A and B are shown apart, each in its own frame.
Chain A
């Protein structure tokens, strides 16, 4: 999959870097797609509740009630309706970009499979919500959705009678199915919320709210969109008349035209196939992962700092198992651990000052131990021929490269995440003058690959989160640099500027900090404010246009201009294969006492064979087996034909008995069809065929 992942990652990296410059790393929407999804969900829920208050759940009144919401209270209900639709479309957009991004960043393999699989299920929920939502409007699009969904579901052989028969004509329209859709449209979002919660269960401090400015901007954008381009219904549904075309919401209904072109069975195969391929992605190939963190009880007193900091909820505090005087101990669930080392950075016994005992912390990564980290620091800081390095950099595996620049030789130590470096290491290096400065060189500021590495690293250096970097460590000798692999120049500039800043410091180290706890950082490169605002507006307008443009167009053609539709559909039970027979007293006596009955009635029925002729030409013939496992149910069918408008001579014939030629019923009719007219050829044993 790397052939696809790598270029995708490069694209995301570039675009995100640009958006960083436009929105600022903190408010970059691409870095908080999951949170945006949650916010959109709340917007949709709130507007949905409002709409439901005015919505009439009867199929014949639904359309009118929604029209009235849009027209009579355009200033409230109308806006709510538009927000409801546009935020739903945006949710599809956000979910797919989120999916693509997690894929590109390879954050679905290993222990992250759980979020991936639950995320895929969320896509299913989004579609069920959207499709049932469009159904409720009962306009032309709803009619198309109802008919096409029914036809698509009807290829699954579990329904006794085709669902499509609910939507034969205005007079026979059954409200039952419509009401079911209303229920599903309310139940599905509730279930979806449950799954959204499950989706982030394994994340500590999961981000479920976008930053406030982003929330406000999103809301304002939707209100503006709703006023400028209100979402409206199409013409009311009319089952007796098929429109020539219908505008689709391409976020929700893009696959429906395929029901007609590919057929329902093929489309099911396609959808299930795509789902299976996506669901398999976390394991093709499986991640060759580093060993999970391990706890050394001899050095763990149960302080729970690792537990508080683990981004993946891989640590739990459990009753002490080693008989020592402590009550709790940290326990790592290897199935949840991604080996980021952030827990190690939090552990108070992971301090390099320990020398009287072996440097074994309470928790660490077997493949990059703290003792080894200290050894690497000591070795690099002993220096080569030129003496100790000016800058010692801890570089995270997911960030931009760190290279020496003229005037600043940089020694680099690779770590899984900058969050793995305990602050006491910085204390050691700076106060013992092992290097002029320490650089924590991590990945992208807007979203850390290990979720919380950037945040915890900054908070520890700023003495806002345990373990604090000691006050006494001068912060002008500790720098942070956040840069993704694509942000090479950002990194290089930071190193250059940090080296210059270090050169200007008094070489006699001050013993304690100057008061500020903030680490040194390169001035953020942001565009000029008006330019930033202009681009932000442009991005919003672009996304808004995309949503409005594809939320009800382009239209698809449903029939030729001069075509009418003939639907052959009925549900009719064939005759019983055997007549009921009176049992003789001896036969009755032979039966189990609880099975004794006077008559034996085998329930199996004959299949129903039917033919339809149009102007003397056979357009349909088929044999329909009885439903039910005992072959005792009705035979039913639902078949549509496009026919030229004008006079049509129709003949329908049917056989429902043991005879193997000839017919039990036959009717003919001549009808004058206007374009778009929907004529139903029905059948009832009592009346024969009807042509309506």
Chain B
């Protein structure tokens, strides 16, 4: 079963962001675990996804706050990505809701792929641009 692990290169150096990244990874892994559990309750995946959606929304809100406070040069781009990613999660949520039956592996694949990419690309740049904060 796929899961996301905290890696040192995820660190942005901004205490709030890193703290929340770790918390998020916890929620994500719980969700992935539930999604991978084909015998489990599909409603539970939906509930957990709702929670992940809320936490990620809050996380992005905080990141955007810090970015605009520090006049991060790629704020607009980053913000646009945030909104797309939230749209993606909402799509996944609706698919889970509509499927009604056991949740398939591909959701977990989409999730882990998505989170991995998110940390690798965007936050890495954010980290380089905002050193030592």
Partner-B contacts on A (CB < 8 A): 299, 301-305, 324-328, 348-349, 351, 353-357, 362, 424, 427, 431-432, 463, 466-468, 470-472, 511
Contact = CB atoms under 8 A, between A and B. Distances in A.
Given A325-B16, A348-B57, A427-B90, A302 B51 contact: no
B37 interface: no
Nearest to B49: A353
Contacts of A349: 54-55, 57-58
B105 interface: no
Contact of A305 (B61, B87, B91, B93): B61
B-side binding surface: helix, strand, loop or mixed?
A: helix
Contact of A353 (B20, B53, B61): B53
17 contacts: A301-B20, A301-B61, A303-B58, A325-B15, A328-B16, A348-B58, A349-B57, A349-B58, A351-B50, A353-B51, A354-B50, A354-B53, A355-B47, A357-B51, A431-B94, A467-B61, A468-B83
Nearest to A362: B58
Nearest to A304: B65
A327 B15 contact: yes
Interface of B: 15-16, 18-20, 44, 46-51, 53-55, 57-62, 64-65, 83, 86-87, 90-91, 93-94, 97
B53 A324 contact: no
B63 to A, nearest CB: 8
Given A325-B19, A353-B50, A353-B53, A301 B97 contact: no
Contact of A302 (B16, B83, B94): B16
Contacts of A305: 61, 65
Contacts of B18: 325
A353 B87 contact: no
Q: Which 5 A-B pairs have the closest CB atoms?
A: A325-B19, A353-B50, A303-B61, A355-B47, A348-B58
A301 B15 CA distance: 12
Contact of A348 (B16, B46, B61, B83): B61
Contacts of B54: 348-349, 351, 353-354
A345 to B, nearest CB: 13
Nearest to B21: A325
A301 B46 contact: no
A432 B90 CA distance: 11
Nearest to B23: A325
Contacts of B59: 301
A362 B55 CA distance: 11
Contact of B86 (A324, A325, A354, A470): A470
Contacts, number: 88
Contacts of A325: 15-16, 18-20
A470 B51 contact: no
A466 B51 contact: no
A467 B50 CA distance: 16
Contacts of B64: 303, 466
Contact of A327 (B16, B49, B50, B87): B16
A327 to B, nearest CB: 5
Nearest to A346: B61
A471 B62 CA distance: 21
B71 to A, nearest CB: 15
A24 to B, nearest CB: 32
Contacts of B86: 470
A121 B112 CA distance: 62
Nearest to A351: B54
A315 to B, nearest CB: 13
**Most chain-A Cβ atoms within 10 A of its Cβ — which of B20, B53, B61, B87?**
B61
Nearest to B27: A356
A267 to B, nearest CB: 55
Contacts of A470: 83, 86-87, 90
Nearest to A466: B61
A424 B18 CA distance: 26
A356 B51 contact: yes
Contact of B51 (A327, A354, A427): A354
A507 to B, nearest CB: 16
| Most A C-beta atoms less than 10 A away, residue of B53, B58, B60 | B58
Given A348-B54, A357-B51, 18 more contacts: A302-B62, A304-B65, A305-B65, A325-B20, A327-B15, A348-B60, A349-B55, A351-B50, A351-B54, A351-B57, A353-B50, A354-B50, A356-B48, A356-B50, A431-B90, A431-B94, A468-B83, A471-B87
Nearest to B47: A355
Nearest to A353: B50
Contacts of B83: 463, 468, 470-471
